[in-house]
Homo-oligomer: A and B are copies of this chain.
Amino acid sequence: MRFVLVHGSWHDGGCWDHVRRHLEAAGHEVHTPTLPGNGAGAARDVTMRQVVDAVVGLLESSGLDDVVLVGHSFGGSVVQQVALRVPERLRRMVFHNAYVVRDGGTVFDDVPASVAPAFQALAEAAGDGTVSLPFDFFREAFCNDADLATAQAAHARMTPEPLARSTEPLALTGFVGLPVPRSYLYATDDNVFPATEFSWHPQMSSRLGPFRLVQMHGSHEVLFTDPAGLAGKLVEAGRD
């Protein structure tokens, strides 16, 4: 299969390195772009349009077809928009503990009410339109299945997340009806948001229309904590 893996907030393309190695060892082709606004040293003042253009540009300039387009977390919203732009290049979309945004909605629409003020406070503390995750929160809510060293190494990779694009209303008319099959890959130990207020599955997944469900154990950061397991599940989610 030909995978294009779209990372989430705070991450960059290199965060897929271990997953990529397992997929390549199994004979798959893997692309792991870093989105505009993410990664060390990047300019943080980016728009959703720039982000989507970058992924569409990669597919077009490299002539990639039959792509299994995977979005993790924030990356789900990018997959939705890319799919509306170049559906003919996609074999399947895979949403991995990922946002599925409603037509006209924003990524932040689904941040639970109990969490939004903390995000707001972190943003105001940074003062430059980005937010960085405190280690304790990242360790307990994102990396709950990691040992301390893995959590620390993962946290050290994170870079400040630009917030503005997650507040842009997205034009997603026609997404559900696109003739591109879709899977939701849900790591069931995800602890990012309170389960009484939010769920990746079935809340986000229910917005996909008909989809294939694939589940695995692991946290939101299973790309760090179980890359071999995730690679196997990406194949289950991505195959015909």
Per-position 1/0 for A154-198, Cβ under 8 A of B: 000000000000000000000000000100000011010011100
User: How far apart sit A206 and B112, CA to CA, in the bound complex (Å)?
Assistant: 13
Are the CB atoms of A148 and B189 closer together than 8 Å?
A: no
Given contacts A145-B214, A215-B217, contact A140 B181 (CB under 8 A): yes
Report copies per complex.
3
A239 contacts the other chain (CB 8 A)? yes
Per the 8 Å Cβ criterion, residues 116-156 of A in contact with B are 136-137, 139-141, 144-145, 147-148
Per the 8 Å Cβ criterion, residues 43-102 of A in contact with B are none
Are the CB atoms of A188 and B215 closer together than 8 Å?
A: yes
Given contacts A194-B202, A203-B196, contact A211 B148 (CB under 8 A): no
Which of B144, B148, B196, B211 is in CB contact (< 8 Å) with A213?
Answer: B144
Residue on B with the closest CB to A137? B210
Residue on B with the closest CB to A194? B206
Are the CB atoms of B189 and A239 closer together than 8 Å?
A: no
Are the CB atoms of B147 and A239 closer together than 8 Å?
A: yes
A212 contacts the other chain (CB 8 A)? yes
User: How far apart sit A91 and B113, CA to CA, in the bound complex (Å)?
Assistant: 30
Closest CB of chain B to A68's CB: distance in Å?
14
Closest CB of chain B to A184's CB: distance in Å?
9
A201 contacts the other chain (CB 8 A)? yes
Given contacts A202-B195, A236-B145, A239-B148, contact A140 B210 (CB under 8 A): yes
Q: Which of A147, A191, A202 has the most CB of B within 10 A?
A: A191
Are the CB atoms of A215 and B236 closer together than 8 Å?
A: no
Closest CB of chain B to A141's CB: distance in Å?
7
Complex interface: chain B residues within 8 A of A136 (CB)? 181, 210
Q: What are 26 of the A-B contact pairs (CB < 8 Å)? A: A136-B181, A137-B210, A139-B212, A140-B211, A140-B212, A141-B210, A141-B212, A144-B212, A144-B214, A145-B214, A145-B236, A147-B239, A148-B239, A188-B215, A189-B214, A189-B215, A191-B212, A194-B202, A195-B201, A195-B202, A195-B205, A195-B206, A196-B202, A196-B203, A196-B206, A215-B217
Additional A-B contact list (5), CB under 8 Å, known A144-B213, A194-B202, A195-B205 = A144-B212, A189-B215, A191-B213, A196-B203, A196-B206
Instruction: List the 3 closest pairs (A to B, CB-CB), nearest first.
Output: A195-B202, A191-B213, A140-B212
